[in-house]
Chain A
Amino acid sequence: MKNFAKNNRYTVMLFVWMAAVLLFFTITKASTLWQVSTWQGIVMQFPEFGVMTIGVMFPFITGNIDMSFVALGDFATLIMAKYLNAHWVDGTSTGSPMGYIMTGILIAMIICIAGGIINGLLITKLGIPAVMATIAMQLVWQGLSIALTNGNTVSGLPELYTEIGHSNVLGFIPYPLFIFIIMAVIAGLLLKFTVFGEKLYMCGTNVKACHYSAINTDRVITVSFVLCAVWSCVGALLMVSTMASAKADYGTSYVMRVILILVLAGVLPDGGTGKIHDVVLSVIIVQIIGSGVNMFSNLNAYYANLIWGALLLLVLILSTKMGADGFHFKKKKAAKAA
């Protein structure tokens, strides 16, 4: 048990966080918090950015960052929406609806994979720092989306598709949650039980040493961005389904939220660390806080950002003290003593 706590300091910390958050809202808003509808809302809302968070985890582990994933997902789903619109007039399709939807998703997926490859190549082959490269790509994708739609919403999507966001699997698991679970499990398996996962963590710790150990580090990093794009695509597809429309700026606030969640989960921007179950826990905590803040109906919605910001600061302070950084700091001291 003691060993578990030592090896999973973030998991322990996150459970403490979750207990603290639940306790806080139980004290202040017990009646609203423990309603079924509140929890239905929570499990409906977190999957879209939750899936994206898991995606961004891949480049994070290699010590890189992706700022373009939301814009890329928006662009890809916009193209999909345009494609579906073209084959869908007044709710009737010109062919098999399922076939069109599948083709649409495939198109979105191909665009995202291409976007991921571009990110990877900019960073590995041209040596542009990941933050710079992906911020530039974010502007490119968003610019393309706006140019394509004049900033307007593209709606009129087939019901078969928009239903996904609101229906249940096996009658009780909301579809978005189901997809989130699948994407989390796949990511977890990739990270823990594949050669690629191992390389991802090693590259994040010391990319040069990995290159000197005959690992194709450029490929590992590029693949991490492609995976990020694929997961973001799934997130964006969910988003479009719940919104029943696509738009150039859906989910732009997710970029910062995703980074907050990852840091909270111990997926540190330096690379080499992070566990999937911590990220899932972190996603849920952040959603509970988000929903919790909304329960105060008399609270001005303009305070939401302030609360978020304060939380980020608190998380950073505490995780630096408790987390890997604090650990390193002690190590260095001990090394000097020797």
Chain B
Amino acid sequence: MAEEYLLQMSGICKSFAGVHALDHVNFHVRPGKVMCLAGENGCGKSTLVKIISGVYTRDEGKVVFEGNEITKITPAEATRLGIQVIYQDLSIFPNLTVMENLAINSEITDGRKIVNRKRWEETAKTALSKIDCKIDLYAKMGELSVADKQLVAICRALLFNAKLIIMDEPTTALTKREVEALFNTVRQLRDQGIAIMFISHKTEEIFEISDDVCIMRNGKNVFEGPTKDLTPRDFAYYMTGRELTDDHFIPKKISKEPVLKVEHLSAGRYYNDVSFELHKGEILGITGLLGSGRTELALSLFGLLKPTSGTINLRGRDVKIKSPMEAQKLKIGYVPEDRLTEGLCMAQSIADNIELASLKRISGNGFTLNHKKIFEDAATWVKKFSIATDDPHKYAQTLSGGNQQKIVLAKWLSNDLDVLILNGPTVGVDIGAKQDIHHLVHQLANDEGLAVIIISDDLSEVVENCSRVIVMKEGQIVGHLDADEVSEANILQIIH
């Protein structure tokens, strides 16, 4: 190819209502290379993508695609040029089959009115063959795993003779293994000469897959160049604008007696014969693939899933936890996996969300409630956890993922707890906030003697924060690593 760059963007500006979403961003994509666009939430990544795909119009700047300057990009024009975006929600029709999903676009652009099954099947087969993808053509899209849906979305993009495929945070909902498979597909596409723009904020992924990196912060690009010129430490610095320190958890004081003792606990098909102990002042990691029973185990400890046999012993006493209300009384707190559906009332204020589990304490008599008190108490937590808001009266949905997660944490920590269970505490949280949350949990364990369980499939998170690790697989504990054995390699060996 004659041109060095497939896509060149220089001096791109875009503002919304006077706020600069993009401020003179420069950005290049080389053909047949994987370029990562990285940055924390709200740094302007999505805006940039939407300008490339023609959803937004830029205020200023120059775009050159394959050597030709493009003055105005519309979505149709972008498709014609060979730019395809795979959004996070994948824009698929869950009620249709794989075949229909693949064929529908070309059927519509060709202006066909009559359905011809044979032709549909052919289109779909060609699409899948492009990346040697073996998915049942007649499976309902909605029933596929996220990873398979993604593959179908990629195949669909390829049908348009894509030269540049943009993937918007494709790995958020994938397990480690699925991410590997996706990366193989990405490499395959790259070798076919297709440029991939990969949007992510996960350090390991970026270093694993990308040839070039562009890092954005607050609407500006702060780094652009080959990935090999960058160290993970530099990367974290560019992402957050501050030096991050390595912060391994070292337990200071672990109680002799366990505060929680689980023995031979089973719950039907979810998990089987699980036993472990948890001491005050330690952080226990539970890891394993999705569906390994780790979440269900946590739900049982919080009274949301009834165990079928086995015992839970708390502070030396056998207990039955039948509801979250009882769990709260027994001083167990649970930060759920999914902030959006399980953690927060998004359309209520930050203050109301923080105090949601402590209304009784705020009230005093359990009946009357003073909203001023809610606000005052919440304000102390906002300060303590440095939640980025100027007013706790604002809705929880105005915050970024990391700050939302801090609310959920504050909700439980404003209770008097002995055991805190964190399920995926930093999913969808950017590096800076992630560090804050980890630091906070360390303090709680060391200074306040809290017993913490972290459930996570982010191995670096587990290794960095946990003094002991349990590995689960298909509902059973398959490995138990003590402090000196905890490492990513050891965990991976047990999982696979």
Contact = CB atoms under 8 A, between A and B. Distances in A.
Interface of A: 192-199, 201-202, 205-206, 208-216, 272, 328, 331, 334-338
B359 A205 contact: no
Contacts of B341: 206, 208-209
B35 interface: no
Contact of B345 (A192, A206, A216, A328): A206
Given A195-B368, A338-B46, A202 B345 contact: yes
Interface in B75-131: none
B325 interface: yes
B325 A205 contact: no
Given A205-B348, A214-B325, A198 B46 contact: no
Interface in B407-453: 411
B327 A193 contact: no
Contacts of B411: 213
A328 B398 CA distance: 11
A127 to B, nearest CB: 16
A195 B348 contact: no
B357 A213 contact: yes
Interface of B: 16, 21, 41-42, 44, 46-47, 50, 302, 304, 323-325, 327-328, 334, 336, 341-348, 352, 356-357, 359-360, 363, 366-371, 374, 395, 397-398, 411
B369 A202 contact: no
Given A195-B368, A212-B343, A336-B46, A201 B324 contact: no
A101 B160 CA distance: 79
A337 B369 contact: no
Contacts of B397: 331, 335
B356 A213 contact: yes
B224 to A, nearest CB: 21
Nearest to B328: A214
A201 B352 CA distance: 10
A216 B369 contact: no
A-B pairs, top 4 by smallest CB distance, nearest first, are A214-B328, A205-B345, A338-B42, A213-B357
Contacts of A328: 347
Given A194-B368, A198-B369, A337-B46, A211 B345 contact: no
A214 B415 CA distance: 11
Contacts of A205: 345-348
B346 A206 contact: yes
B345 A272 contact: yes
22 contacts: A192-B371, A194-B367, A195-B359, A198-B352, A199-B359, A205-B345, A205-B346, A206-B341, A209-B343, A211-B324, A212-B304, A213-B411, A215-B324, A215-B325, A272-B345, A272-B347, A272-B348, A337-B16, A337-B21, A337-B47, A338-B41, A338-B44
B248 to A, nearest CB: 30
B357 A197 contact: no
Most buried by A among B16, B325, B370: B325
Contacts of B357: 213-215
Chain A interface main SS type: helix
Given A212-B324, A213-B324, A331-B398, 11 more contacts: A193-B368, A195-B360, A195-B367, A202-B352, A205-B347, A208-B341, A209-B341, A213-B356, A337-B21, A337-B47, A338-B21
A122 B359 CA distance: 27
Given A208-B342, A212-B342, A202 B356 contact: yes
Given A195-B368, A197-B369, A337-B21, A206 B41 contact: no
B368 A202 contact: no
A214 B411 CA distance: 11
Given A209-B343, A212-B342, A213-B411, A201 B348 contact: yes
Contacts of B367: 194-196
A193 B42 contact: no
A205 B285 CA distance: 32
A335 B399 CA distance: 10
A212 B397 CA distance: 18
A193 B46 contact: no
Contacts of B302: 212
A3 to B, nearest CB: 10
Contact of B369 (A193, A272, A338): A193
A326 to B, nearest CB: 14
B342 A209 contact: yes
A208 B41 CA distance: 26
A213 B41 CA distance: 26
A216 B366 CA distance: 14
B399 to A, nearest CB: 11
A208 B324 CA distance: 11
A170 B334 CA distance: 56
Nearest to A336: B46
A210 B345 CA distance: 8
Nearest to A189: B368
B356 A195 contact: no
Contacts of A272: 345, 347-348
A195 B374 CA distance: 11
Contacts of A195: 359-360, 363, 366-369
A223 to B, nearest CB: 13
A212 B336 contact: yes
A202 B360 CA distance: 15
A272 to B, nearest CB: 6
Contacts of A338: 21, 41-42, 44, 46-47
B345 A194 contact: no
A210 B356 contact: yes
Residue from A195, A201, A202 whose CB has the most chain B CB atoms within 10 Å: A195
Contacts of B346: 205-206
Contacts of A198: 352, 359, 369, 374
Contacts of A215: 324-325, 356-357, 359
A214 B46 contact: no
A337 B55 CA distance: 11
A202 B346 CA distance: 10
A216 to B, nearest CB: 6
Contacts of B356: 202, 209-210, 213, 215
Contacts of A335: 397
